[in-house]
């Protein structure tokens, strides 16, 4: 397994280098921006991963949704907006924007923490006493990173529902009435920016190598696309306990479980992103009911018919208005 992981990393590095040399480098030199070659290499990595993810969505998840949908798609315009969100996130556009806007500030902040003696730990070294030779087990370490980041994401998700100001942004994600595999990326840019800052810092603290960080992001995004899919896919008793399924996550998006303080626990239920064990451990798990309608209850005409926006820019602008109306 370790050899397979190394082979995959080498193949990806080759493709990333080829994309840089044949496409990005000539373009940058033509524009007089050769000083950005190092950044362009990272951008090529995100672009390549995004193209692979889009291929999986188009060739695997979309056909599955057509084969066994939970509900018919009647609002294709709303789904097309979600596809715009997906393109922005999966093709690396969001990561590039985050890098140029926030990375210099974040580097200064990380440097200040280091001066104060606040530094992270290497997770692979911490695991070594518990599993002899674990530092040589690349897959075991990779899964360790995945578990730690997923636990962090669980608590981030709890915060998105618990705090009114954060929910004002996160509501963009929940306002989709027609969930599909494209809906995972439907998020307010400020919400995604905050989440990215937290997750990147945690990744640095536990020593995630840059190449594995890209792989972790890609794997998590694909599994999140699956959990949002408009798909009747039985996971079975064992897999349903091990991985967040479309049925499990659809209940989180149900009209009776959002926002904030409805549905039995503060902030709803089924917050886990990949591993449902966190909801079991922290008491936020609800057994999956038959699939029902999704969205936010105050969207319904009888509950006020609140507008969350139809287009990308409308949704972003309304999210900012909700945020400042609660500050």
Comparing 37-41, 213-217, 237-241, 299-303, the range with the smallest average pLDDT is 37-41
Instruction: Show the CA angle centred on residue 16, arms to residues 152 and 217, nearest 5°.
Output: 10
Query: How many CB atoms are located within 10 Å of the residue 122 CB?
Result: 14
Record the pTM.
0.84
Number of domains the chain contains: 1
What residue has token string 């806007």?
101
Tens digit of pLDDT for each residue in 187-208? 999 999 889 888 888 887 887 8
pLDDT for the residue numbered 123: 64
- Tell me which residue of 178, 176, 177 sits closest to 186, measured CA to CA: 176
Q: Could you tell me which residues are beta bridge partners of residue 254?
A: 294
What residue has token string 């695991």?
127
**Averaged pLDDT score across all residues of the chain:** 82
Rounded CA separation 98/100 (Å): 6
Tens digit of pLDDT for each residue in 27-52? 777 777 777 677 777 778 888 888 88
- Of 323 and 96, which is predicted with more confidence? 323
Rounded CA separation 192/180 (Å): 19
pLDDT for the residue numbered 322: 94
Can you give 62-126 as a three-state secondary structure string? HHHHHHCCCCCCCCHHHHHHHHHHHHHHHCCHHHHHHHHHHHHHHHHHHHHHHHCCCCCCCHHHH
Highest mean pLDDT among 102-106, 147-151, 204-208: 147-151
Q: How would residue 259 be classed by pLDDT, with cut points 50, 70 and 90?
A: low
Domain extent, residue 36, equals: 2-326
Highest mean pLDDT among 36-40, 112-116, 286-290: 286-290
Burial class (CB in 10 A: 0-12, 13-18, 19+), 227: buried
Q: Could you tell me which residues are beta bridge partners of residue 294?
A: 254
What b/e string do you get for 144-159 counting C-beta neighbours within 10 Å, with b at 16 or more?
Answer: bbbebbbbbbbebbbb
Tens digit of pLDDT for each residue in 42-92? 778 888 888 889 999 999 999 999 999 999 999 999 999 999 999 988 876
* Rg (the chain; Cα; Å): 21
Q: Are 284 and 261 in contact (CB under 8 A)?
A: no
Three-state DSSP state, 294: strand
- Of 125 and 248, which is predicted with more confidence? 248
Rounded CA separation 215/223 (Å): 12
pLDDT for the residue numbered 113: 65
pLDDT for the residue numbered 231: 94
Per-residue CA distances from 2 to 9, 134, 217, 234 (Å)? 11, 11, 20, 31
**Cα separation of the two ends of the chain:** 50
Q: What are the DSSP calls for 194-258, one per residue? A: HHHHHHHHHHHHTT--HHHHHHHHHHHHHHHHHHTSS-----HHHHHHHS--HHHHHHHTBTTT-
Q: What are the DSSP calls for 143-187, one per residue? A: HHHHHHHHHHHHHHHHHHHHSHHHHHHHHHHHT-SS--TTGGG--
pLDDT for the residue numbered 211: 73
């Amino acid at each position: 397994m370790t050899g397979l992981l190394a082979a995959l990393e080498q193949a990806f590095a080759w493709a990333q280098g080829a994309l840089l040399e044949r496409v990005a480098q000539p373009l940058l030199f033509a524009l007089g921006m050769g000083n950005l070659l190092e950044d362009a290499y990272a951008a090529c990595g995100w672009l390549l991963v995004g193209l692979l993810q889009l291929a999986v969505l188009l060739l695997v998840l979309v056909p599955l949704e057509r084969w066994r949908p939970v509900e018919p798609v009647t609002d294709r315009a709303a789904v097309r907006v979600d596809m715009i969100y997906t393109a922005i996130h999966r093709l690396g556009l969001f990561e590039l924007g985050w890098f140029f806007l926030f990375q210099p500030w974040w580097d200064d902040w990380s440097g200040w923490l280091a001066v104060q003696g606040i530094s992270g730990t290497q997770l692979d070294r911490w695991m070594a006493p518990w599993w002899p030779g674990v530092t040589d087990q690349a897959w075991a370490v990779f899964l360790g990173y995945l578990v730690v980041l997923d636990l962090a994401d669980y608590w981030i998700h709890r915060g998105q529902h618990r705090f009114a100001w954060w929910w004002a942004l996160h509501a963009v994600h929940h306002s989709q009435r027609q969930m599909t595999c494209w809906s995972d990326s439907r998020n307010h840019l400020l919400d995604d920016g905050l989440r990215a800052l937290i997750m990147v810092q945690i990744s640095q603290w536990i020593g995630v190598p840059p190449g594995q960080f890209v792989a972790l992001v890609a794997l998590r995004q694909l599994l999140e696309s699956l959990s949002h899919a408009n798909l009747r896919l039985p996971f079975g008793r064992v897999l349903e306990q091990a991985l967040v399924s479309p049925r499990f996550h659809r209940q989180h998006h149900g009209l009776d479980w959002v926002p904030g303080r409805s549905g039995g626990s503060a902030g709803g239920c089924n917050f886990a992103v990949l591993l449902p064990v966190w909801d079991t451990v922290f008491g936020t798990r609800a057994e999956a009911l038959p699939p029902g309608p999704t969205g936010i209850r105050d969207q319904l005409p009888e509950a006020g018919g609140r507008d969350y926006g139809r287009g990308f820019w409308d949704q972003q602008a309304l999210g900012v208005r909700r945020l400042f109306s609660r500050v």
